[in-house]
Amino acid sequence: MTRCRGCAAEIGPTEVPDCPTHRRKQGRPLTNADIAVLALEASHAPISLYDIRRIFHREFGWAPGEMSLNATVAQDRRCCWAGRGIYGLWRHGLAPGPRRLLDAARLVLSSRDASLTQDELAFTLRHIGYRFQAATLHRLLAQSPTITEPSWHRYTANSVGAPLHLELGLPLSAFETVTKRVARQTRAALKERRRRLATDRGLTGDDPVFTEGKLNTSAPYS
């Protein structure tokens, strides 16, 4: 595992060990994008663009305009989208690439061989760290041609259009690393969801629990 030279944190496939925090300590020049990453490196969790700009200003005595900084952060593949106007890093559990909820949902679905229910997908996305309204996800699943419903209320990624790694702006090797971790996070999230459902029903973790779709009855309206 590669670690940040400045922060010792695990670094992601779109980051370099020679991080902005480290470069700043050495007195080397930083771009605006580097400074945004530096602000994220100083945070334990994803933060808003507003906070990135505030930290930028606090540390360097000036900051680019809001629109300019937003564009810089959105274009930088080290910065990971976590929700409307919220960004984090690989070390916060997020994936580089997605810039909207649809991208994140497609990434989770494409990392799996099996389909997910809307509830499983929503739980997984929140578990990974994405913030969104349930209604937004509902609308995306119903309307996006890049997500299909192979059986009643179960969703899977559709391979129409350009390969996902190109749409996410990731080199294939980075995409593979990202997908592997997202698949692991998804398995962990689904396990946690089952555990909570079992707890809610007063069962132990070993008792069989019915979860949606597990009966595999034929879809009534397909």
List of residues contacting Zn ion (CB under 5 A): 4, 6-7, 19, 21, 41
Shortest gap between Cβ of 43 and Zn ion (angstroms)? 12
The nearer residue to Zn ion, 7 or 197, going by C-beta atoms, is 7
Strands 47-48 and 80-83: unpaired
Residue among 193, 130, 119 at smallest CA distance from 154:
119
What gap in Å lies between CA 33 and CA 30, rounded to an integer? 8
Give least dist CB 81 to Zn ion, A. Answer: 20
User: Residue 34 or residue 120: which is nearer to Zn ion going by CB?
Assistant: 34
| Contact of 120 with 201, CB cutoff 8 Å | no
Residue with tokens 């959105």: 74
**How would you class 17 by CB atoms within 10 Å of its CB: exposed for 0-12, middle for 13-18, buried for 19 or more?**
exposed
Nearer to Zn ion, 8 or 162 (CB): 8
Least CB distance to Zn ion at residue 8 (A): 8
Minimal distance, residue 57 CB to Zn ion, in Å: 20
Nearer to Zn ion, 4 or 140 (CB): 4
Q: CB-wise, 24 or 154, nearer to Zn ion?
A: 24
Phi/psi for 149 (5° steps) reads -115, 85
| Secondary structure class of 10 (helix, strand, coil) | strand
Q: Are 35 and 20 in contact (CB under 8 A)?
A: yes
For residue 58, how many other CB atoms are within 10 A of its CB?
Answer: 10
CB 21, min distance to Zn ion, A = 4
The conformation of residue 90, written as its DSSP 8-state character, comes to G
Are 135 and 173 in contact by the 8 Å Cβ rule? The answer is no
Instruction: Read off the tokens for 34.
Output: 């580097």
Q: Give the nearest distance from C-beta 78 to Zn ion in angstroms.
A: 10
Residue with Cβ nearer Zn ion (21 or 118): 21
